[in-house]
């Protein structure tokens, strides 16, 4: 080759490190160019990351590498003339057009500048620089690589921030769809990882509350190595896992205690802990573990982000507490009615869970499943108006007593229908229809088939099964085989046949519910 590449007496002193390298693709058909480039860029590093050279002897070979590596190639040094006079230019069109790679920095190098005029090439091709090989001394080549890598790094940062912003904006639109504090916490932590480019196991969020003078830590979200802290071995519907201090990883106990004692956010060599005090004496901690020094900009961003995120946690925590309080009140009310008739309070919990199971198996949406779990415990609310002598009569009711007993369905419906809350509206339909029968022989209205609300048909199956399978003041519990036999016999008569099939096909799951909520 006639072109000469000069370079000065550079003596790089680079410390070896394990950080991922910057990938630089050198595309040229002359071995001497690759040899000189290797010599000049040997041991080069930028931003505490080494430079890795990848060599291609043709545009076709470079195209294959770029398809595999994508935007992981930080810089491509491309010769113009290789297997054809315009092979390098065609490669650039492929990178920017076919591969839609607009992040990799491209520098065109030529030994024949007259064949590809600089002004024309820069105007027509999406490149970042254009160099005559003869002007690239060792120092200038290094300067070119440094500036290109700096540009690539900044573009990646902007692209990550753009992607994160899009995700956050999209999440804001769905904020009301978040069902639990834990789900939102996990979603936000994922965004923080993406935004700051931390390792997947670097973030952990927790809250501390004082109950009866004892500290409890509730894990809201965790990632990577800390994720097992979220695994619930029980079948609870809670969105958080509770731990005592000594149950947490030791690496966290010291930094948490320091932040809690000083009541402020702290930075350590291992990571950053954001502290935030909230309502009802609760304290929140957001732990960010990092493997390299966090710059001041990142620290400032963490401070702002953590404060806003934890404030959101507290808002949703209040919302979740209100929802849980509502659920507990419904159970307490349902249990009060059952205990008045000397039946077990666990009956309403079993009916609730079995009803939710059947609703899910029937293919209803998640909102209906959750609502029927909350509403079905109130199916017998109207019994509050029935005299004790009738409710607790050990023998068979006479016609007058039976007629009075039947009024509990309409009484319960009327009581619940006075509320415009969706849960109580659904509970009203259940109370008024769970004694209707598929063949039209039920009460209070003699509805038939699909005239009966689905919620009432579902609760009827759950209620009758559990009533027969449990001991009551007027009877012993039935053997399981006898109970299932009755359900099968009444399929298409008392009960919706499709629901009975689903029930029998999933009897093991039903029995698991019964075992979780024993009398």
CB 143 within 8 A of CB 10: no
CA–CA dist 48, 237 (Å, integer): 46
- Exposed e or buried b for every residue in 397-412, given b needs 16+ CB within 10 A? eeeeeeeebbebbebb
Q: Is 383 a catalytic residue?
A: yes
Q: CA 507, CA 357: separation in Å to the nearest integer?
A: 11
How many Å apart are CA 463 and CA 347, to the nearest integer? Answer: 8
Alpha-carbon 141 to chain mean position: 46
Between CA 44 and CA 148 the distance in angstroms is 14
Residue found under tokens 């579902």: 458
Q: Which of 41, 42, 316 is nearest to 175 (CA)?
A: 316
Give the residue from 70, 118, 119, 120 showing the smallest Cα distance to 95.
Answer: 70
* DSSP letters for 33-102: HHHHHHHHHTT-EETTEEEEEEEESSHHHHHHHHHHHGGGEEEEEEES-SSSTTHHHHHHHIIIIIS---
Cα gap 462→379, rounded to integer Å: 11
Catalytic-labelled residue, pool 131, 383, 393, 396: 383
Which long-range CB contacts under 8 A does 90-98 form with residues at least 24 apart?
90/59, 91/27, 91/59, 91/62, 91/63, 92/125, 92/126, 92/127, 93/125, 94/63, 94/66, 95/66, 96/126
What are 300's two structure tokens? 């400032």
The residues annotated with a catalytic role in the active site are 383
């Amino acid at each position: 080759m006639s072109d000469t590449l000069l370079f000065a007496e550079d003596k790089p002193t680079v410390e070896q490190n394990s950080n991922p390298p910057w990938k630089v693709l050198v595309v040229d058909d002359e071995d001497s160019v690759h040899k000189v480039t290797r010599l000049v860029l040997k041991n080069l590093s930028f931003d505490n990351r080494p430079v890795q050279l990848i060599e291609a002897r043709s545009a076709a070979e470079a195209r294959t590498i770029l398809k595999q590596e994508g935007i992981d190639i930080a810089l491509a040094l491309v010769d113009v003339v290789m297997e054809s006079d315009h092979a390098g230019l065609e490669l650039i069109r492929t990178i920017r057009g076919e591969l839609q790679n607009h992040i990799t920095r491209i520098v065109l190098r030529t030994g024949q500048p007259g064949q590809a005029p600089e002004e024309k090439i820069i105007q027509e091709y999406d490149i970042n620089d254009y160099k005559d090989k003869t002007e690239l001394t060792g120092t200038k080549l290094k300067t070119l690589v440094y500036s290109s890598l700096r540009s690539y790094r900044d573009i990646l940062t902007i692209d990550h921030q753009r992607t994160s912003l899009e995700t956050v904006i999209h999440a804001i639109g769905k904020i009301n769809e978040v069902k639990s504090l834990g789900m939102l916490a996990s979603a936000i932590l994922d965004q923080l990882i993406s935004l700051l480019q931390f390792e997947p196991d670097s973030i952990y969020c927790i809250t501390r509350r004082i109950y009866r003078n004892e500290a409890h830590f509730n894990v809201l979200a965790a990632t990577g190595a800390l994720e097992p802290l979220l695994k619930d071995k029980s079948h609870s519907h809670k969105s958080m896992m509770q731990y005592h201090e000594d149950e947490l990883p030791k690496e966290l106990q010291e930094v948490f205690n320091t932040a809690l004692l000083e009541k402020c956010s702290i930075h350590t060599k291992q990571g950053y802990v954001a502290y935030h005090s909230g309502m009802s004496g609760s304290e929140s901690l957001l732990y960010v573990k990092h493997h390299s020094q966090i710059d001041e900009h990142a620290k400032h961003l963490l401070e702002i982000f953590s404060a806003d995120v934890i404030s959101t946690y507290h808002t949703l925590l209040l919302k979740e507490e209100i929802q849980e309080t509502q659920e507990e009140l419904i159970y307490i009310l349902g249990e009060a009615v059952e205990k008045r008739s000397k039946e077990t309070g666990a009956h309403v919990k079993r009916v609730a869970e079995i009803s939710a199971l059947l609703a899910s198996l029937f293919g209803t949406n998640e909102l209906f499943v959750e609502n029927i779990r909350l509403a079905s415990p109130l199916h017998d609310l109207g019994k509050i108006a029935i005299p004790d002598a009738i409710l607790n009569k050990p023998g068979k009711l006479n016609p007058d007593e039976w007629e009075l007993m039947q009024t509990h369905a309409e009484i319960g419906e009327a009581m619940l229908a006075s509320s415009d809350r969706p849960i109580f509206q659904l509970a009203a339909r259940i109370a008024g229809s769970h004694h209707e029968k598929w063949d039209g022989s039920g009460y209070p209205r003699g509805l038939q088939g699909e005239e009966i609300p689905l919620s009432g048909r579902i609760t009827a199956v759950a209620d009758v099964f559990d009533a027969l399978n449990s001991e009551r003041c007027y009877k012993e519990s039935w053997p399981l085989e006898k109970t299932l036999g009755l359900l099968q016999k009444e399929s298409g008569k008392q009960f919706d046949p499709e629901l009975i099939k689903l029930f029998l096909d999933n009897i093991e799951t039903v029995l698991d519910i019964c075992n979780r909520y024993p009398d």
